[in-house]
Amino acid sequence: MKRAELSKSKKKSTGFQHSKKLGQNFLTDHGVVEDIAIGSLADEDTLVIEIGPGQGVLTDELMNYAGALIAVELDDRLIPYLRTRFALNDRVEIVHGDILEIDLEELVRSGKEKFNVSKVQVVGNLPYYITTPIIMKLLESGISFENITIMMQKEVADRLIAEPGTKNTGAITYGVQYRCTVDKICDADRNCFDPAPKVDSAVLRLNFRKEPPVTPVSEKFFFQCIKAGFMMRRKTLLNSLAALNSLDASYHFGKDKIQQALKECGIDSKRRAESLTMEEFSELSDAIWRQR
């Protein structure tokens, strides 16, 4: 029997009313839970920030490896249950809050001090609709996470793991791979959850790089070029990059300037954003920057 079929046959109702709004698809497949905990590489010197612990199935497994764990859960109905479940473990702290609103820097600083650990990482089986904002918040936080291990919709995982310059990419591919290398931990089909979501999932580990793979003159402008390039991904670069002017009132990049920059980089103006490698995007953003 396949792993997902096995877990489906073992599913039993807990009486809990799952909130669709909060993306409450709880993991029931213990193999996947184990894969995430092991794949996160958490060890005794690691504080794990767990996003959305639900009923604590992953929390429990993570504590076989991690030195300490702070779980942030938004649903107030789950807080008493979680606090009771982990009452005997003084290395687990349950925080009631919204991960998108919380002061992460303070959470990490106080957690590291309280639990006397040197490393911190993030693990979560997130509601799918907050995957991108969470990843962006974590990447832009400036906090030195070891890694981020998260479950996401399979199509999003495919996009994050795609090689820049190939078809399946989006602006987020470049954003993530500029800061991290990406490893796939496992797939999790819909039957690994209760209730089963409408889509299949995968777990990725984003490992923070010590140095970015390219060094554009202006990091901010590099990301603006990527954003503009993908705003209308079917358009050619010559047309899509005109969207740069909508990202900052001080920009006035006419087609002539974009054309000149493309020429300097030896990039055909009919190419589309998705065909550019990270290096090409970096060179092109520098060349457009010089046209200011």
- The yes or no reply on residue 100 touching ligand SAM (CB under 6 A) is yes
Spell 178-212 as b/e; 16+ CB within 10 A means b: bbbebeebbbbbbbbbbebbeebbbbbbbbbeeee
Q: Is 201 in the site for ligand SAM (CB under 6 A)?
A: no
Site for ligand SAM contains 54 (CB under 6 A): yes
Q: What is the Cα–Cα distance from 27 to 19, expressed in whole angstroms?
A: 14
What part of residues 111-150 is at the interface with ligand SAM (CB under 6 A)? 125-127, 130
Asked if residue 24 binds ligand SAM (CB under 6 A), the reply is yes
Q: Using CB under 6 A, which of the segments 67-75, 172-180, 227-235, 238-246 binds ligand SAM?
A: 67-75
97: tokens are 């809050």
Residue 40 is a binding residue for ligand SAM (CB under 6 A): no
Exactly one of 51, 120, 186, 204 binds ligand SAM (CB under 6 A); which one? Answer: 51
Q: What is the DSSP letter of 233?
A: T
Q: Is 155 assigned to a binding site?
A: no
Q: Which amino acid is at 225?
A: C
Please tell me whether 98 is known to bind a ligand.
Answer: yes
Identify whether the C-beta of residue 228 lies closer than 8 Å to the C-beta of residue 289. no
Among 3-11, 49-57, 177-185, 204-212, which window interacts with ligand SAM (CB under 6 A)? 49-57
The least distance separating ligand SAM from the CB of residue 259, rounded to whole angstroms, comes to 44
Which amino acid type is present at position 141?
A: S
DSSP string, 86-138: TTT-TTEEEEES-TTTS-HHHHHHHHHHHHT-SEEEEEEE--GGGHHHHHHHH
73 binds ligand SAM, rule: CB under 6 A: yes
Q: Is 25 in the site for ligand SAM (CB under 6 A)?
A: yes
**Binding ligand SAM by CB under 6 A: which of 53, 164, 170, 216?**
53
DSSP line for 237-259:
HHHHGGGGGGT-TT----HHHHH
280 binds ligand SAM (CB under 6 A): no
Residue 125 marked ligand-binding = yes
Binding stretches for ligand SAM (CB under 6 A): 22-27, 51-54, 57-58, 72-75, 98-100, 125-127, 130
Binding-site residue positions for S-adenosyl-L-methionine: 25, 27, 52, 73, 98, 125
